[in-house]
A and B are shown apart, each in its own frame.
Chain A
């Protein structure tokens, strides 16, 4: 339960949800080296999810195509999307603590009257298999 201040009712919300780092040593470069073909997605700038938290889409500013274990060309405005449960079931590698960063956003809004709070969400680079990329610009 969290409340924005003394004059707001506490509500159920998750302000500090993090993904634990992988237990075995794994750097981002090692993760890339162990990947045949993928997109490394960076610099998230857009996020949207349906009201039951199934279908999501995230947009990034920059990404890198990974080919045969190496960073290849840069890709602009990459996006990824999917169904939450399918997405998390496709996770097959998480980098270890050295790569873990506490991210977050300062203005997560919830409730009526609205309560705005800062959030902290830690994660290390992770690999997900078979994820759809590029829907954001599909035929638009």
Chain B
């Protein structure tokens, strides 16, 4: 895999080729491999290695980007020429700032707390072979066959890099590994599911995940239809993750400036329950990802919500400067670059991507939540979540792969899947109890550290046919 020293050489060659006022080069890529199985057998094994060099040049407020995955002299000359010719025909961007140097990239005191990011590169994960993935799949299939189920899913592994170099001397580099297992177990009229992702494959147990997925498929067989309505729900962490993930695009300075955030007019006010505290924290031990943003600014630990009160949003450098001049500047809390910007140029500005829900003082396990529930629904995961109302943050979606009726403190049976139409504001104001937060994986949102939640008056509006 490309290393920082090699990247530095490539950057030096690019810098010599460029006539621009400023040059920024981003490196990305690595190795990715995936083994996919269905009908209890492996049917796909793919692997690729690719490294991308993305060159941004600046001429007096005009900027553009071009990229290549070839590093010979002619290819680098061509990508520099492409970036420069594109930059020269852009309209000047009055919000464009000079590139950050390494001092600015470490962040200001207003940005958030300082941190030390842990290593996220694990040799054991980097060395996963197709045979090791196949061995994991074999164990999963063994569980399926023992329960007379059919299984499908993936076991993937990756070793990736992110790097940034610019003509003001900034250079930073991040490598990490990743392993992921996703399992669906199918019965005649039911299904179960589990998914896990970690930089360290030692944290992933395919056999244990398969057993849970299989149990859900078996126990939700012959689902009963019960009417839609408002129920107490117990949302497992994957279900919490996929639904709350839809609000984090709104914790963005640019979203406030564009007046497309549901937090417009709500920063500093209490919109969730006392028990909801949310951080963005790239250094959290259960998190993953790169500790700097698209311009190389260090990601800061930022308190987004404290005891139900929205405290602030995150900023790219240029967005922070725009906000300081805007009519909203006195209504949005601290304003400073927090290290959450996307690579420039872009239309979205920034977003927090290392979400961590703070633990509560009296966490409960899912089993304890079930035991204290007189009548409710246990939800394994949600599916096809989409936004219905952007300001009230009403979301729709379906339950999937293990939905159960709970009565008198016990799981009674599987039920046909529900459609939800629920406001996130309403949901996070009605959380009765939470579990200890865990690293969770879903399909609709990026991985986060979230708890299971027991929520009262959750709004199911329809029932489907299975």
Binding site for B on A (CB under 8 A): 7, 9, 46-52, 54-55, 57, 59, 77, 79, 81, 83, 112-113, 135-140
Contacts and interface: CB of A to CB of B under 8 A. Distances in A.
A54 B419 contact: no
Contact of A49 (B154, B384, B388, B422): B384
A138 B421 contact: yes
A54 B396 contact: no
B44 interface: yes
Nearest to B464: A55
Contacts of A46: 386-388, 396
A36 B426 CA distance: 38
Interface in B407-444: 417, 419, 421-423, 426
Contact of B464 (A54, A79, A136, A138): A54
A112 B398 contact: no
A57 B46 contact: no
Given A57-B396, A113-B32, 12 more contacts: A7-B48, A9-B44, A46-B386, A48-B385, A48-B397, A50-B400, A51-B384, A52-B466, A59-B388, A136-B389, A140-B422, A140-B426
Contact of A48 (B182, B392, B396): B396
30 contacts: A7-B48, A9-B44, A9-B46, A47-B386, A48-B398, A50-B383, A50-B400, A50-B417, A50-B466, A51-B384, A51-B400, A52-B464, A52-B465, A54-B466, A55-B398, A55-B462, A77-B388, A83-B464, A112-B182, A113-B32, A113-B46, A135-B461, A135-B462, A136-B389, A136-B421, A137-B388, A138-B461, A139-B230, A140-B422, A140-B423
Contacts of A139: 230, 459, 461
A50 B383 CA distance: 7
Contacts of B36: 112
Contacts of B422: 140
A34 B45 CA distance: 56
Q: Lowest 4 CB-CB distances: which A-B pairs, in order? A: A55-B464, A50-B398, A48-B384, A136-B388
A111 to B, nearest CB: 9
Nearest to B419: A55
Nearest to A85: B465
A7 B182 CA distance: 22
A113 B464 contact: no
A140 B421 contact: yes
Interface of B: 32, 34, 36, 44, 46, 48, 154, 156, 182, 230, 383-389, 392, 394, 396-398, 400, 417, 419, 421-423, 426, 459, 461-466
B181 to A, nearest CB: 12
Nearest to B465: A54
B388 A50 contact: no
B419 A57 contact: yes
A112 B394 contact: no
B122 to A, nearest CB: 21
B464 to A, nearest CB: 4
A136 B397 CA distance: 10
A99 to B, nearest CB: 27
A49 B388 CA distance: 13
Nearest to A77: B389
Chain B CB within 10 A, most for which of A7, A59, A83: A59
Contact of A55 (B44, B423, B465): B465
Given A46-B386, A59-B388, A51 B398 contact: yes
B32 A83 contact: no
Contacts of B48: 7
A49 B400 CA distance: 11
Chain A CB within 10 A, most for which of B156, B230, B398: B398
Contacts of A113: 32, 34, 46, 156
A57 to B, nearest CB: 5
B459 A140 contact: yes
A112 B466 contact: no
A106 to B, nearest CB: 15
Contacts of B34: 112-113
Contacts of B182: 112
A7 B34 CA distance: 13
A52 B385 CA distance: 15
Nearest to A9: B44
B421 A50 contact: no
Nearest to B48: A7
Nearest to B229: A139
A100 B126 CA distance: 53
B127 to A, nearest CB: 21
B398 A137 contact: no
Given A136-B396, A136-B421, A50 B464 contact: yes
A9 B44 CA distance: 9
Nearest to B461: A135
Given A48-B384, A48-B396, A50-B398, A137 B464 contact: no
Contacts of A54: 464-466
Contacts of B154: 112
Chain A CB within 10 A, most for which of B48, B230, B389, B462: B462
Contacts of A79: 388
Nearest to B32: A113
Nearest to A55: B464
A81 B398 contact: no
Nearest to B152: A112
Contacts of A59: 386, 388, 396
A57 B182 CA distance: 27
Contacts of B46: 9, 113
